[in-house]
Amino acid sequence: MHRIVIIGSGFAGLEAAKKLKHANTEITILAKTGHHLFQPLLYQVATGILSEGDIAPTTREILKKQKNVRVLQALVEDIDVENKVVIWRNHNEEQTTPYDTLILAAGAGQSYFGNDHFAVFAPGLKTIDDALELRARIFDSFEKAEIESDHNEIDRLLTFVVVGAGPTGVEMAGQIREMASHTLAKEFRAIDPTKARVILVDGADRPLPVFGEKLGDVTRHELEKLGVEVKTQAFVTDLDHDTVTLKFKDGSTETIRSNCKVWAAGVQASELGAVLRDKAGAELDRAGRVIVGKNLTVPGHPEIFVLGDMMSFPGVPGVAQGAIQSARYAARIVAARLAGKPETTEPFTYFDKGSMATIARFKAVVKIGKMRLTGFIAWAAWCFLHLLYIVGFKSQIGTLVHWFFSFLSGARSQRTTTNQQLVGRLALERLGTGSSGKLVAGEDPVQEIIDDEVTSSHSEEATPNTPLSL
């Protein structure tokens, strides 16, 4: 039987699997996580509106009735293109899965434009782990400020910097500002949360540059009405525990003291793009995306499709619709091949269904073709479309209920955080590669710790562990 391997369970990977439901084939999905993430709503998890379960149902539950699909939690490390084998591991158990057709839809991560050390102090927002860590960091800033007596330090703790004024950055800045002004306004005694500073930074001339000048200016106006400081034509040149340093287009600089930073600028495609470059001769663009042919395959390898955020194709943005449409196109080709029918000769074409972003409660901007919407109508359209694309009836109902109470009352029911969420990522990195929460290859982390302790006990002077600094 024909074997299809799909790498990734995001919009593209899941859609491709579902569209091949009736195909006579064995489908294996290899994904680092056991859930399908509705990434556009991650910022609402980070700001306490939604729970992670509302936007990330398990992949197994979604596909439980599709008998030709097997789901495996796996970190793909290599692809043997010549022998058509995917090499992957779950923790330290290395496995292989052969394929006849390979669909790469592993998505993209955060890009720090060559400054990866910024990630220690400014997490991105691409995964559930990111959202929960940011939630913990945001609320922890208020908690620290409540017990602080130094006014300068309180100001630093209550200053939030969001880097990147695309949809994610705009939505994060607006929600942090709303949370400080409404949700937390009367909950503290020593500090006034309403006086928190929220700063949105971007190198472009205005927020949401892809939305055009008019909507960008509307967005800026609405953000500033909320109390968000918008700094455009500004680039981050340095970032550490205490500060963010900006350089403006006019040559001037500014250093902002801030405890909590959010990185929402730039994306970098999965490292599997580099694997295809080395093993299949694929070309990559500057963001590491694979430059695909007109039928979304790697040139010279008709059995390998690259979809979604991993592919570089003219006119296709890195949004959910691009992933979904590319998956449907690829599935049609694969289905035709399996049925012995001629596959389409028409190249893939992307239909732009528009762009939208929320600013705050009852405020959003929408761009669909030549139509521009703002205010409540745009916000209602945003709500409807996002509910429509959330997978699973239970998730849709749960999201609707949370939205109803959050938007009407200003309350946020998902504010629980843990110390593990706050320091877990950095703690795992300190333990070593084998202990990563991403199913990463490496030596046994327990043995690594034992070996380190043995080495330390034989040293003349042990060096105490330094505490994690966020």
Torsion of CA 430, 432, 434, 436, to 10 degrees: 30
| DSSP symbols for 29-76 | EEESSSB---GGGHHHHHTTSS-HHHH--BHHHHTTT-TTEEEEE-EE
Of residues 15, 171, 178, 222, which has the active-site annotation? 171
Residues 6+ apart with CB under 8 A from 402: 49, 50, 51, 54, 413, 414
134 and 123 Cβ atoms separated by less than 8 Å: yes
Q: How far is CA 462 from CA 229, 452, 457, 467, in A?
A: 47, 11, 7, 15
CA–CA distance, 158 with 142 (Å, rounded to integer) = 7
Q: Does residue 171 carry a catalytic annotation?
A: yes
CA–CA distance, 300 with 9 (Å, rounded to integer) = 26
Angle at 407 between CA 403 and CA 159, to 5 degrees: 110
* Strand order across the beta sheet in which 69-73 lies: 69-73, 25-31, 2-7, 101-104, 301-306, 297-298
261 and 199 Cβ atoms separated by less than 8 Å: no
303 and 289 Cβ atoms separated by less than 8 Å: no
Residue 124, classed as helix, strand or coil, is coil
CA–CA distance, 380 with 358 (Å, rounded to integer) = 10
Residue 470, classed as helix, strand or coil, is coil
Q: Distance of alpha carbon 167 from its chain centroid, rounded?
A: 12
Neighbouring C-alpha atoms within 13 Å toward the C-beta of 223: 34
Residue 467 identity (one-letter amino acid): P
CA–CA distance, 449 with 2 (Å, rounded to integer) = 45
Q: Which of 358, 280, 249, 302 is nearest to 103 (CA)?
A: 302
Q: Which helix (H) or strand (E) holds 304?
A: strand 301-306
Residues 6+ apart with CB under 8 A from 264: 124, 125, 162, 163, 164, 166, 168, 169, 172
| DSSP symbols for 216-277 | HHHHHHHHHHHTEEEE-SEEEEEE-SSEEEEEETTS-EEEEE-SEEEE---EEE-THHHHHH
Dihedrals phi, psi of 228, to nearest 5 degrees? -80, 130
Q: How many helices and strands (H and E) does the chain possess?
A: 14, 23
Active site residues: 171
